Structure formats: C-alpha cells, structure tokens
Amino acid sequence: MTENTEIFRLEHVSKVFENKNGRVTAVDDVSLSIREGEIFGIIGMSGAGKSTLVRTLNRLEEVTKGKVIFDGRVLGELPDKELRQVRRSIAMIFQSFNLLMQKTVLENVMLPMKIAKIPKKKQKEKAMEMLKIVGLEKRAKAYPAQLSGGQRQRVAIARALSMDPKVLLCDEATSALDPKITGEILELLKEINQKMKLTIVIITHEMSVVEKICHRVGIVDHGKLVELGSVKEIFARPKTDAAKHLVFPAKQDLNLFDRTDKRCIRLVFDGRAANESLIANMVQDTGEKVNILCADTKSVGGIGFGQMIVELPEKPESAERVLEYFKEAAIPVTEVTSL
C-alpha cells in the first residue's frame, strides 16, 4: 500500500434527493481520502447512505455539493468523453453479480473489452488471463446458470478486472453469499490487492467483512461520516453509537446486559496468542470472578481476535481490581452499561 498517495479525495460531498415527500439528504458533507493501493471499507447500517456515497466515486450519482477528485481530476468537471475514459479505471461489482445469463463465462468477461472495441483476439486472451486469476479458467464455456453464487461473483470480478482498472468498487459484493464463500471471495480480493496493487473500496453493513481485509474504515450514519481510522483502532475503541452498534456482538446478546444495575466491560482481543487463558489467569492472579455474558473471538494464524462482554464483581474494590489487571495486561477495555 502506498502510504501518502491518494487515489480519491472527497471534499464536503453532499447528495440530496428530491421526492414528493420533500428533500432527502443521503450523503451529508463527507470529506475523506482513499490511498492508492489500500483496501478501504465504508460501513453502515441499511439506509445509512453508504451505497449512494460509493456511487459518487464513479459519478453514477452526481453530487449536490462538494467535489469528488479521482487521480487528481475533479469528476464533476469532466466532459462525457473524458468521463467514459476515467470510468474504465474505476470498476465496480455488485451483490447481484449482473451477469448476462445467455452468454458464456468467457463472453461475460469479454463484454467490457468488446464495448471498448478491443480486437477480439486480445479480448479472449485477456479474459482467459482474468479467469485464471479468479480460478475459473476451466469454466470458460459454462453459462452463469451452471455456476454457484461464489463462482458467479468470481466471474464478475474477472470482468471488472479485464480493463486493468486502478480501483475496484465492491457494493455489498458478498451479502448474497454464505459465510464460507464470503471468506473465499474476501481472500481473493486481498490476493488481487496485493498482487495487482489495486485499490479496493468495500461497501458493507458487516463488520466481519471489514475486519478480514480492510486497512482503514469509514463509518457512515444518516449520511454523515462519523468515524474514520484504521480497522484496529475503531474495533478496539469505537467512539460513536453507530460504531458501537456495528462492532459490538449481536443485539440479542447485548440484551443480556442491558441493565443499569450491573457494571459491565468490553474486552478487545487484537493480537494476543490464541491459547492465552486470559480470564483464567485473571481469576488466579486476583482471586476475583467475572460473569462472561457473550463473546465473539476467533484465532487467525494462532493470534486471537475478537471481543468479550463480562459482568464485573458487585463490590467496587473487586471491580477495580479486575479493571487494574486488564489495564496492566494491555487489554483494551470499554465500560458498558446499556446500549
């Protein structure tokens, strides 16, 4: 990832829609930059404005106010011919795959090159090269109906890559897939990012997607960018209600401690050894016990990641002893009473 070179810069971008019920502000004064070669996540709940925001990046949505600058050029100032050229550098994939069912896998991947009037021999060579990258070169003659959902998304990725874009926009690209296939597609995107130095922007409502592959993330709520930073920073210490809602365990688990008479804390695991018995060690060292209300932890390459909600002992001095233990152990701790 190139640390300082930005591929996108948004300056006070707003998008307002007019309808019979009045004005709806889908994007509200958003400013941010996306660095060349990074995987950047835009996350928010349904209706937060994230999909509208990503569509301003390739001018599928015209901004009401502000500027979208791509690779040093203000998109809103480009005439149609130049805009079409620039859009070839900004590919996009969607949740619904958008494949032509009557055409083969190979023909689907060749389609953007056909529209660009690239010689047919080159189209086929490039399409086969892209299919090899996504692991589907042996299915070139198959039709989309003969493929699984994950395979269809791989075809969509191959098609998006066929014009050698600088950026790949992914709008809820894994939402229609099961967890196993989602993991495979995310690993493929990470591999493409590393090998091709391709900037990837991922729009999602799932923190698990962001955690797996993004370098930085912006959280959108009611059209506003409410938090921006590294995934590790925001996961460990979410500041806004929108961020907390996204990074905390499922709401049904939160109901377990939605009680103002109990003092609860959230522990974040962001790189400890997965076999480290943190709670057991705390009990042994302090003599205090805690009630584990819910946990969402996993091991990635032998390293522990995730979070745990625990109820502290009722006695204030016992609770402080537990908090001091976690502080000395350098475990990020956030106190929670109700959410």
DSSP 8-state symbol, 49: S
Q: List 297's β-bridge partners, or say none.
A: 306
CA distance 236 to 40: 18
pLDDT at 129 over 90: yes
Tens digits of per-residue pLDDT, 148-167? 999 999 999 999 999 999 99
pLDDT at residue 252 in the model: 43
Residue 297 has pLDDT above 80, yes or no: no
Cα three-residue angle 247-6-15, rounded to 5 degrees:
65
Rg (CA), the chain: 23
Confidence band for 335, pLDDT divided at 50, 70 and 90:
confident
Strand partners for 272: 304
Nearest to 269 by CA among 292, 291, 300: 300
Label residue 316 exposed, middle or buried (CB < 10 Å: 0-12, 13-18, 19+): exposed
Q: How far is CA 24 from CA 48, 66, 171, 222, in A?
A: 12, 17, 21, 10
- In the numeric block, the tokens 């894994």 are attached to 174
Q: What is the pLDDT of residues 21-59, one digit of tens each?
A: 789 999 999 999 999 999 999 999 888 899 999 999 999
* Residue 271 pLDDT: 67
> Residue 259: which pLDDT band, with cuts at 50, 70 and 90?
low
pLDDT in tens, 199-248: 999 999 888 888 888 999 999 999 999 999 998 888 878 888 888 888 77
Determine contact, residues 56/12, Cβ cutoff 8 Å. no
- Answer yes or no: is pLDDT of 338 > 60: no
At 331, the pLDDT band (50, 70, 90 cuts) reads confident
pLDDT bin (cut points 50, 70, 90) of residue 61 is very high
Beta strand 199-204 with 216-221 is: unpaired
- Check pLDDT > 50 for residue 283: yes
pLDDT at position 333: 86
Of 208-222, 241-255, 264-278, 284-298, give the lowest mean pLDDT range.
Answer: 241-255
d(CA 263, CA 312): 6
Residue 92 or residue 235, greater confidence: 92
Nearby residues of 185 by Cβ (< 8 Å), 6 or more positions away = 150, 153, 154, 157, 173, 174, 177
pLDDT band at 136, cuts 50/70/90? very high
